[in-house]
């Protein structure tokens, strides 16, 4: 079945350093790849997404890259700040015709040390 693997499960970085989270997906028909951030005790919120016709997308300190051939995509956070500490989830769309669902990775707990 459809599957999204996410690594690492935990990541600790020094404030100001970069953080990279990687995901691989199994459904070659996947064409939408969002990233969600979930702070402790709060609901997940979309931080960036990318569609299959784009290889890279940036939004200030956040960037996502997509390699459809290898079926993997990555989240890059530069100049990390303590408020970036949270759990990050990648996801990939999976389905047929107009009926898609999001398959989420198991999450990465990012800790930014001041």
Partner 1 sequence: KAGVTQTPRYLIKTRGQQVTLSCSPISGHRSVSWYQQTPGQGLQFLFEYFSETQRNKGNFPGRFSGRQFSNSRSEMNVSTLELGDSALYLCASSPLAGGFNEQFFGPGTRLTVL
Cα 91 to its chain centre, rounded Å, is 7
Q: Is the CB of 41 or the CB of 114 nearer to partner 1?
A: 41
Can you tell me whether residue 77 is helix, strand or coil?
strand
Q: Is the CB of 88 or the CB of 114 nearer to partner 1?
A: 88
Q: Is the CB of 14 or the CB of 40 nearer to partner 1?
A: 40
Residues that bind partner 1 (CB under 8 A): 1, 6, 9, 31-32, 34, 36, 42-46, 49, 89, 91, 93-95, 98-107
Q: Is the CB of 77 or the CB of 91 nearer to partner 1?
A: 91
State how far the Cα of 42 lies from the Cα of 64, in Å rounded to an integer.
Answer: 23
Please give the backbone phi and psi of residue 66, each rounded to the nearest 5 degrees, phi first: -130, 130
CB of 99 to partner 1, least distance (A): 5
CB of 4 to partner 1, least distance (A): 8
Burial call 32-66: b when 16+ CB within 10 Å, e when fewer = ebbbbbeeeeeebeebbebeeeeeeeeeeebbbbb
CB of 42 to partner 1, least distance (A): 8
């Amino acid at each position: 079945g459809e599957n999204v693997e996410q690594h690492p499960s935990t990541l600790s970085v020094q404030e100001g350093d970069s953080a990279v989270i990687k995901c691989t997906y199994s459904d070659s028909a996947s064409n939408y790849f969002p990233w969600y951030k979930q702070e402790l005790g709060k609901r997940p919120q979309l931080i960036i997404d990318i569609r299959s016709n784009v290889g890279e997308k940036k939004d200030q300190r956040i960037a996502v890259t997509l390699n459809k051939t290898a079926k993997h995509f990555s989240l890059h956070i530069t100049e990390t700040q303590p408020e970036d500490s949270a759990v990050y989830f990648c996801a990939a769309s999976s389905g047929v015709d107009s009926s898609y669902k999001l398959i989420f990775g198991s999450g990465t707990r990012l800790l930014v040390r001041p």
